[in-house]
Amino acid sequence: MVSIVESAVIDAPVDEVWRVLRDFNGHLAWHPAIATSRIEDGLPGDAVGAVRCFTLKQGGMLREQLLVLDDRRHELTYCLLEGPLPLFDYVATVRLRPVTDGNATFWQWRSTFRPPLERKDEMVGLVRDGIYRAGFRGLADHLGVRARPALSQGPMMQPSPVSKPATALSSPSVRPLLATSTREAEAIVVERHGGPEVLVAKTIAVPDPGPGEVLLRHTAIGVNFIDVYCRTGYFDLLKPPGIPGMEAAGRIEAVGSGVTALRPGERVGYACPPVGAYATMRVMQPDLVVRLPDTIDDETAAAGLLKGMAASFLLHDVHRVEPGEVVVVHAAAGGVGSLLTQWASALGARVVATVSTDAKAAIPREGGAEVVVVRRREDFVAVVRDLTGGRGASVVFDAIGRDSFHQSIDALAQRGHLVSYGQASGPVGSWDIGAFASKSLRISRPNYGHYTGTPDDLAVQSSRFFSALEKGLVRMATPTRFRLSQAAEAHASLEAGVTTGSLILVP
């Protein structure tokens, strides 16, 4: 008995591919080998037990019967009843699975049959090349989809190992699995947008890196508010089912062909799209990762790289902080807020730090803040005006959003700058821009990706942050640790505001 398994990734959503494949007579429209086809006895094309009678363009008539059709699992099984080819006891199964990162489909075509011993290689080649690979190309062309490097964006939702894949297909619309093996990894998958409960632990298969790719094994994974926005659907960075997370540290497990700048075993970190960090392993583009200095351990990197690079561009690019400026930092006990407080103080600014509780006040005070305000019982606007003789602050770094936006505007001096870089309490709503003219205010809403989206930008921000750490301008507190399987608990704690500093997931 011979078993063949061929796989490919089609750049179209799984439901779209399934709508085509579930019609047992639909192969006439997309498979290039089919000349004519009909369903016998007038049955519909999705009826279990239906028999399709079809002819090939090169000649010959075949009859195949649909045995299983599972819409929930996106699977169908059929067998060969009659044909000119010596494929005895031929049974085939088509399985579709969504690729976790983007609207693409993993398609596996598996069959078993008994060929004559003397024609074994010929029959295996015919099934593999003439039926399966030609079918992959044909369906992709029928859908009009384009190729994309799906495997570099994240692991596949494929629970069982796949066989050694074929060589590259000629069609630009479909990509074969380039891995020579697959590994099982644990991951947190968002099945649908919603609350922390939609974070579900699953086992996934991760391929070997393809050309120009690296495989990472994570040792620590950062948890950030941007992950919450991805989980809820507020940021359009994750399309379910998908794996969240944009920050992690670990080691290079393997490199694909053409990768010369990195070697297996090297320590690296990253803090950038595409999402997919909540997993024990993932495939990445090498220009998206940075080497970690020996002076910075993995957990510090995973806890601080995204926040540190954010603090870097906020203080140096969005608003260049000058000595003597009065700077307000909201949520100053949080991950980014604590770094902004320390770094701005080190740059010579007079920092007014706000926190939500007395218990959190010690963190920005130790970080160099001149004044610490507990917002629930103190008016930080009055504190700022008193400190500045009524002038107001030069800049306010606001990650709270709805609950602080109006007061942040009131706290600014003429020609002051409000940098709204987060909205933990909700969107700020609509504002009349004319209202800002009374003090000639500037309002910024920086996007993290616009400051870290290229290798050059990434190098600038990461180097600046690493240098600040090594010089002691900023310090990273020991992060709060959760197991990877506790991702939902970590999100709930982050959203409730009960944590200080940084959070990490440990595989």
Tens digit of each residue's pLDDT (9 = 90 or more) over 452-487:
878 889 889 999 999 999 999 999 988 999 999 999
- The domain spans of the chain are 2-176, 182-306+461-506, 323-445
- Burial profile 108-135: b = 16 or more Cβ within 10 angstroms, e = fewer: bbbbebebeeeeeeebeeebbeebbbbb
Contact present, 233 and 271 (Cβ < 8 Å) = no
What integer pLDDT is reported at residue 302 of this predicted model? 95
Task: Tell me the mean pLDDT in the region 415-437.
Answer: 86
Q: Which residues pair with 62 in a beta bridge?
A: 54
Q: Which of 125-129, 189-193, 318-322 has the lowest mean pLDDT?
A: 125-129
What integer pLDDT is reported at residue 303 of this predicted model? 93
Q: Is the pLDDT of residue 499 over 50?
A: yes
What integer pLDDT is reported at residue 148 of this predicted model? 41
- What is the total residue count of the chain? 507
**pLDDT band for position 492 (50/70/90)?**
very high
Q: Is the pLDDT of residue 79 over 70?
A: yes
Mean pLDDT of the chain: 87
**Domain 182-306+461-506 -> CATH class:** alpha beta
How do beta strands 51-56 and 61-70 pair?
Answer: antiparallel
**pLDDT band for position 415 (50/70/90)?**
very high
What integer pLDDT is reported at residue 146 of this predicted model? 58
pTM tops 0.75? no
Q: Is the pLDDT of residue 7 over 90?
A: no
Per-residue 3-state assignment (H helix, E strand, C coil) for 83-134: CCCCCEEEEEEEEEEEECCCCCEEEEEEEEEECCHHHHHHHHHHHHHHHHHH
Q: Is the pLDDT of residue 165 over 60?
A: no
Q: Which one-letter amino acid corresponds to residue 11? A: D
Structure-block tokens of residue 123: 């029959």
In 429-503, which ranges are continuous DSSP H helix?
Answer: 448-452, 455-471, 487-496
**pLDDT band for position 205 (50/70/90)?**
confident
Identify the CATH number of the domain defined by range 2-176.
3.30.530.20
Could you give the percent of the chain with pLDDT greater than 90?
A: 60
- Burial profile 196-210: b = 16 or more Cβ within 10 angstroms, e = fewer: bebbeebebbbbbbb
Instruction: Write phi, then psi, for 135 (nearest 5 degrees).
Output: -65, -40
Q: Yes or no: is domain 323-445 CATH 3.40.50.720? A: yes
